[in-house]
Chains A and B, each alone.
Chain A
Amino acid sequence: MLFNSLDFGIFLPIVFSIYWIISSLGIRSQNIFLLGASYFFYGMWDVRFLILIFLSSTIDYIAGIKLETTDAPSKRKLYLFLSLSFNLGMLGIFKYYNFFLENFERTFSFFGLNLHGPHLNIILPVGISFYTFQTLSYTIDVYRKKISSTHDWIAFFSYVAFFPQLVAGPIERARHLIPQFTQKRSFNHQFAIDGLKQIIWGLFKKIVVANLCNNYVNDIFERHAQYSSITLALGAFYFGVQIYCDFSGYSDIAIGTAQLFGFKFMSNFEYPYFSRNISEFWRRWHISLTSWFRDYLYIPLGGSRTTQLKKIRNVWIIFLVSGFWHGANWTFVTWGALNAIYFLPLMLLSRNNAYSDTVSESKTLPNIQEFFQMLLTFSLVTFSWIFFRSENMGKAFSYISKLFSFNFKLDYLGIERYNFEAIPIILLFFVLEWSARLKRHPLQDSKFSLIKTVVIVLLIILLGSFIENSEFIYFQF
C-alpha cells in the first residue's frame, strides 16, 4: 500500500477515526489496534512478509527480556549474538545471498574454476533493511544497558511494525519510540494539523516533483548513449532532485501520519541540498540511518577519538557499509566510497564540524561564498548519484564518459519533452524549501499557513503526475 495511493487514502482516515474513538478504552486497546492495522498495511504487499516481521519481533522481544534478567556476560553476549545473527542473517539471505554467490562464482571463474552454487529465487521483503535496523537498536541498547527491556509485547511489536515508518523509515530508536507506545496519548489538534500539513508537503514532493523528474531520469539514463553532455548533466541533476523529493517526501508523510496518531518521529532530512560541505550534507541527509551508523558502528570502532589512521579506516567502513546497506550492487558500494573520498579531506583538515548552523540563518539570500559552497556540495553529491541510479558499473562508467564528452547540444527527449521543461517546477520547489529552511517543513505554522496549504493541495492536483509508476525509490532497500 503506497502512501500516494487511493488505498492509503481510504485506509488512513478509517484507522485514524477508529484509533481515536477507542482511545477511551485505554492505551493497550489503541496499541492492539495499531498493531493490527500495521500488519494489515504490511500484509497488503505480501502476506508472507508478516512471518518474517513477526519472527524478528518475537526473537528481539525475548532477547531483550533475557538480556535484562541475566548479569552473566557470556550469557548476555550469547543473547545479543542470537538476536544479531537472526536479524542480520535474514537480511543477508534475502538481500545479499545471491550477490555474494555471484561474486564468488565470478572470482573463481577468473582463476579457471567454474563453481555454481544454489541461487535463491526469493523476493526482497519490503522494508526489511529498515525494521531490522530498528529492532537491532533495541537489542543493542538493552545489551548496553542504555534502556530497560519492555515486557509489554504489544507495545514492542507495534514499535517494530508501526505502519508509517515500517517500509522506509525513519529508523526510530527504541529509546525514543517505545516509551511513546507506553504513555497515554491524547489528541492534540495543533500537533495533528501540523502532521496533516507535513503529509501534504510530502505528497507535493513525491507526486509533483519526484514523479515529474522520474519521467526525465528514466529516459535519460536508459538512452544515455544517444544524448549530449548537457542532457546527461540534467539527467543527473533530475535524479538528485528526484531521490531527495521521493525519499524526504516519504519521510514527511511518515512523520506527519505518526503525528495524527500522537507520535513524534525524529527528523530524517533537514534541507540537505543547502549544505556548505559534504560533512554538513551527511548530517542533514537520511539522518536516522546516518546517526544509526554513528551510534552502533562508528563510535564502537573508536569514532574520531582514535589515531588518524584508524579514523580514516572508520570513515571508509562507515561509508562502504552505508553504501552496501542500500543494496547488493557494486554501484552502491562505489557511491559510498565516493562519499568517503569527499568526506576524508574535511576530516583530515578538521573541517567536518565547520557548519553546525543553518546557512544564511539571519539573511534572505546566501552570500557569494555560501552560494558557491552549496553549489559545489550539490554538484559532488549529484555526481555520486550517477552510481546510485545506474543499474551496474558498466552503465555508470558509460554515462560518465558520455557526460564528459563535452557535447552541448540541446536534445529533444524520447518522452516528447525538451530537456529543460521540468526546471520551472524544480526552481519553485527550491524557492519554497529555501524560504522554509529554518522550519521543519514549509507549511509549518505561519501567518498564511492555511492559504499556503490550499495552494500546495491545488498544485498537487494540477501539476501532479498520477499515472506513472510511482513507487517510492527507497522501498527497494
Chain B
Amino acid sequence: MSQFLNFLLKLLAIVIICAFAIDTVITYSYPKLTARSHADWIFSLPPETSFDCIFLGSSRSSQHVIPKMIEEQTGKKCANFGYAASKPFEIKLTFMALRKRIHLKKVFIQIDQSWNISNPDVLAQSQWMPYIKKPEIQGYFKDLGNDYIVLSYIPLIRYSLNNPKIGVRNLFFKLVGKELDVIPSLGYSNSTHPFKNKKISEYEAEIHNIMNPHIKEIIDYCNGNQIQLFFYTAPFYKNTIDFSPFNSLVRDYHDFSREIPQNKFYLDPYHLNESGSKKFTQQIIDYYFKIHEEF
C-alpha cells in the first residue's frame, strides 16, 4: 500500500506544481495578449483613454447602440461596454473596472427584467475570472463566499470551470491575435444570428419593485463622484412587460421598450437588426443629445 500511496502523492505533487505554474503563466499573460472579451478590453485600455459617455448592459445594449453614429452626429466620444448575458452583477463589475481606467462623465445603463436578478450569470461572469484578484473587482467576488476561495486558490480551476469562454480555445485565439470583434466598432455588435432560446413567451415577467443591490452600488458611486447616470429600456418586439416601476426606482429613466413596433427592425423578439439599431441609436441621440438640456 505504501508504494501505491507514494505513487499517488508523487502524481498529485507534480500535477499541483505544474497546475500552479500554468495558472501563473496564463493569468500573467491574460491582459497582455490580444483582447478577446470585454474584460480584456477594459483591462488593456491605455491610461489616457477617455469617453464622454459609455453604455452598459447586456446584448440588448451591445446590439442596439452604435457609438460611432453618436460621435458622428454629436461629436461626443462614446463606447458600448454591454455584452451578452450581462446582468446587474456583471454590469457592476464592468462599471467598477472602468471607473479606475477612464474618467467617466455620463453612463447609460440598459435595464429590463434582468433587474430582478442579483446572482452572477455563469457565462457572463466567466470573462472576469482571469482578473478575479484585481483589486478593482476582487471585493465583489469575495462577497460570493466560498466560491471565491475555490476560484482563487485552487490552481487552474477558474479556467477549467469556464472553459467555453476562457479556456484553451480562447487562449489559442489570444495567441494568434484574434481580437474581440466589437472593439473596432467601439462595442457595437452587429450580429446577424438570431439569439437562441429567445421567445416572446419569455416576456412573462414582472419587475420587482425593490432596488437591485448591484445597481444601488453603481448609483451610490456615481452620486459621490459627479458622474451622470441614465437608465433606459431598449425596444422589444411587442413588449407586454410593465416597466413603470423603474420610474420610481431610479432617476433619469426612459422606457424605449415600445418605441419600435415594426417586425422588420428585429433580429429576434429581444434584439434589433442593423437597421433597427440605427433607428434606435437615432432615438437615443434625439432624446438625450438633442432634447435633453444636460447634453
Contacts and interface: CB of A to CB of B under 8 A. Distances in A.
A189 B4 contact: yes
A466 B163 contact: yes
A453 interface: yes
A467 B4 CA distance: 31
A440 B19 CA distance: 28
Contacts of A450: 7, 10-11, 14
A456 B10 CA distance: 15
Interface in B150-205: 156, 159-164, 167-169, 193, 196
B18 interface: yes
A465 B18 contact: no
Contacts, number: 59
Contact of A196 (B1, B8, B159, B196): B8
Contact of B22 (A414, A417, A458, A466): A458
> What's the interface size class on B, roughly?
20 to 34
Contact of A462 (B14, B122, B167): B167
A467 B196 contact: no
A457 interface: yes
The secondary structure that dominates the A interface is helix
A230 B74 CA distance: 48
Interface residues of A, number: 22
Contacts of A189: 1, 3-4, 7
Contacts of B144: none
Given A187-B1, A189-B7, A467-B164, A462 B156 contact: yes
Contacts of B7: 189, 193, 196, 450
Given A20-B1, A187-B4, A193-B4, A458 B18 contact: yes
B23 to A, nearest CB: 10
B90 to A, nearest CB: 17
A462 B4 contact: no
Nearest to A415: B164
A432 interface: no
15 contacts: A20-B1, A187-B4, A189-B4, A189-B7, A193-B4, A193-B7, A196-B4, A414-B196, A457-B11, A457-B15, A458-B15, A458-B22, A463-B163, A466-B163, A467-B164
Given A462-B168, A465-B164, 19 more contacts: A187-B1, A189-B7, A192-B4, A196-B7, A414-B193, A414-B196, A450-B11, A450-B14, A454-B15, A458-B15, A458-B18, A458-B19, A458-B22, A461-B15, A461-B156, A462-B159, A462-B167, A467-B161, A467-B164
